[in-house]
Every structure is written in C-alpha cells, then in structure tokens.
Amino acid sequence: MDNKTTAQEPYMVFSPPATPTQATDMDGMAFDFNLGLRVSVPQGNYRVAFIDRDKHLTVYNAPISGAMATSTKRYFVNFRLEVWQDPTEEEKKAAKDKKIESKLIFSHDYNAKGKKVLLKFAGRALGDMLAWFPYAELFRQKHGCELYAQVEEQYISILQPGYPQIHFIKGDKLPEDLYASYYIGLFAPWDDRNLQPMDWRVVGLQAHAAYLLGLPPREEKIKLVPSKKAKEIQPKEPYVCIATQATAQAKYWNNASGWLATIDYLKKQGYRVLCVDREKVTVNGIYGNAIPYGAEDFTGNRPLQERIDLISGAKFFIGLPSGLSWLAWGCNVPVVLIAGFTSPGTEFYTPYRVQQFHTCHSCGNDQRNEHKYDDFGACPHHRGTDREFECTRCISPEYVQNVIEQLRKDLNL
C-alpha cells in the first residue's frame, strides 16, 4: 500500500513450477500446492475431489482425464486431495444390475512438515513488507516446513538477523521440489476472493496477511535488530525522530503549521528533532512537501539498517501511515501516528494514534473507492474543493502536543 503499483508489477506475476512437483506411485500423476492445489492425472476414467479439511467442505469434485486440475483459491487452504477411479461404461454394462463403486486410488492431506515452501512478498513497499513478514515465521513454526522467502533484495539485510531460520531468495530462481508457494500482496481488484479471502480495507494490513496464510489474525510485531554500530551514530542528547513524507498526499499531515509548531514544542522540551525521511522534498501534483523548518536533516537514501540504528535510540517517533512508522514500531520505539486517510486498525495499534472524526476521514478503507494507482493519493471525496484533505488539515498541532504529553507522562520521559 505504500508504493505506486500497477498490474504489471513483478509481484503480480504468479510463476509457480510449470508442472506439479510431488510425484506419486502412479505413472503420470503428480500434485503440489503451488498456486493453489494442483493435480495432474493420466488418461483414464478418473475423478478428483478437493476438500477443505477445516471447513469440512468439498469445493471441487469432477471427472478428469489426461489433464491438470487446479483450485480457484490461490491462498492457503488446508486441502485434502482425493483421486478416484470411476467404473467405465463397459464395466457398468458387464455388472448388469450390480452397482460398481468408485475406487479411491490416491489421497493426500496437506502436510508441509520438512518440505520446501515459498512465500513471495509483494513489491517495494516498506510498510507492507514490515506488516506482513512476521507471519512468515508463524507459518514456518506452525507447519514445520523449510521456508523460503522471496522479497525485495534491499530488505533481506534487515530481516535476516531477526529470522535466521528462514531462507531468503535473491532473484527469481525458485528452489527445486517446492511443495507449496503462496503470494502475499494486495491484489486488485480487492474484492477478488480467489486471490485473497478478505479485503484489507476491512481487516487491516496485518490481518490481511494472516488470512492469506491461514493464521490467526492477531497483531504481530516485526523483529528488527540494531547493529553493533548503533550507539556510534546515535546522538548523546535526548532526541526524537520524525518522518513527514509519504507516498500519497492523502497520508500527509496537511496542516500548514502542524510540523513547525510541533518541532518548536519538542525543542522547548529539550529534544533534538531528527527528520529521517528518505526524501527532503517531494511533489504530489500541485502539492510540494519539504523537510520542516527546525528539524535536523537526517534525510537521504541511507541503508535501512542505519535507519534502524538511529530510530532505535529515539525517545519516541512521530510519523504517518507509512513505512518508517512500521520500522519504528519494529524497533520497539513508541510511535505517535498522525492519520486521516486510513481507519484505526489498518496499521499497528498504538495508544498514541492521532486522528479526528469531525470531518471526512478513512477514505482509504472505503469499499466504494477502488484505488487508481495512476492517481494514488488524491482526495477521492473532496478533490479540488475547500474540503480537500480535511482529515489531516483539521488535526491541530495542539492535539498532537497533548498526545505527546500523554506519552511522556506514561513513559516517564
């Protein structure tokens, strides 16, 4: 959700092995769970059934001969596969009045223990990656599988220290003999129930990944580990990190004096204020956004590990519904989250969420709006009117300061 994407993005290209990888004792029959349950059978009088074991529901039951059958659901389902041999017409005629039963010749219940499983994560969006990746480890633990993760290469270095038992893949070369593979992303249109069981706009970003992988939709924090050099780059004075940029104007704090007044307030409380955005200046349509006056400039395309090292020493973090807020949360730093575009529950829970409900708000979760990525971040309800971006324009700096005061009181800062 943090990144402008289109249907042509690489993560939207589902690329399982060309044929099922798990051989059986019967020539010409193989199966796997790569891009749903798949089974190929030789020529003959066969029938296959796909059964959801958790729901006790047969979702497919049809004749097949010399072909491959694939489930429509591409996300995790606890499937049972059954292959039956039906009697031929000649056998039925020969039996006359006797009823000939179909014969179960093969069955398999999903069991990934000790087997290779691939999770392919979507795109370049930092926030989405940090929201979803904790469920990879939960999946590995639940199934006892040999788990491989395909992520943007820039994220491997910050994820590996916290998840040493997961194999990270660089490039597109898949492991051999993959038992199963699952794709973790937001697949437009978001009401496509073959690619995702739930709409993220309803359940939130984290629960979206949990539902894709058949896991409990509870909140899970990403494990981010500061490096040994962290203390060397952290200021000795008390400091606060802020991130004022986002990938969509709808996510910004669009109050003209908001950041200026907040930075002035923080400095009067004795804090250094470090702006850790990647970009110093961004332009979204007619809107320009620059590093706020008074903040120390720690912007730049720096390694993410350096961001972790710096943010992990901050007294607290102030940000928007964007990747660096997820990063700060993973560093176990208290987060003041200024939001209007999304509804509570979309991001991680923080008691210091700043959001007002007196104006239009939460359009990002409005199911009437199918986001257009070539127009990402526009105000869908009030574009070009005096109500544009009122969700965050009406968040006053005094409101933010009151939340910061509560944080300082709670944490004895």
Catalytic residues: 128
Q: How many CA atoms lie within 13 A of 78 on its CB side?
A: 11
Task: Give the integer Cα–Cα distance in Å for 298 and 306.
Answer: 11
* Cβ atoms of residues 41 and 19 within 8 Å: no
Task: Give the integer Cα–Cα distance in Å for 185 and 200.
Answer: 10
At 157, which helix (H) or strand (E)? helix 153-159
Residue type, position 269, single letter: Q
At 120, which helix (H) or strand (E)? strand 116-121
Write the secondary structure of 57-83 as one string of H (helix), E (strand) and C (coil).
EEEEEEEECCEEEECCCCCCCCEEEEE
Chain center to CA of 277:
21
Residue type, position 323, single letter: G
Task: Give the integer Cα–Cα distance in Å for 296 and 282.
Answer: 17
Helix axes 397-411 and 258-268, enclosed angle (nearest 10): 30
